[in-house]
Amino acid sequence: MLFVLLPGARRHAGRRIAVAAAASTALALAIGAVLSHLVDRARPFVSDPSGVHQFTHHAADAGFPSDHATAAFAIATAIVLRNRRWGLVALALATLLALTRVAIGVHYPSDVLAGAALGAATAIALYWPPIRTRLHALADWAGHVLDALLARVSPRGARARS
């Protein structure tokens, strides 16, 4: 996540975005893995091999919900909750990614819609104030550790990044 490389005060906010996005993604993908095993729905190219032109090779594993859409919308929603401008860009890119997963024949539209809903809902749930406070504290702590490590490697570089 490039947010951790931002200068000064922006870097502080960027680290919080990065930690929130990572936590949202990890939790959403874990929930998605459970759902995938429970639903076990075949992908379009498996269900109807003659009716779907598959543009890329893909494993014939369960396709519901889409992992790509789940992760993309978890990240985008975590960003939009903390920075509207960059979040809207991320949401647009997540939407494009979800549409291409359907267009290349590896998901049904409902697979990506479910993934988008799961990813967004997870990021929103982790924005609940008691959880958000802990995630931000984790990001701040990790940022201090990272800054200390960078200062040991290059004292001048650490001051310049501040």
pLDDT at 137: 94
Averaged over 66-75, what is the pLDDT?
95
Give me the chain's average pLDDT, please.
84
What mean pLDDT do residues 76-105 have? Answer: 93
pLDDT category at 46 given cuts 50, 70, 90 is: low
**Domain range summary for the chain, segments of one domain joined by +:** 14-54+67-155
For residue 83, pLDDT over 80 is answered with yes
* Percent of the chain with pLDDT strictly greater than 90: 54
- If you write DSSP's letter for every residue of 77-144 in order, what string do you get? HHHHTT-HHHHHHHHHHHHHHHHHHHHTTSS-HHHHHHHHHHHHHHHHHTTSHHHHHHHHHHHHHHHH
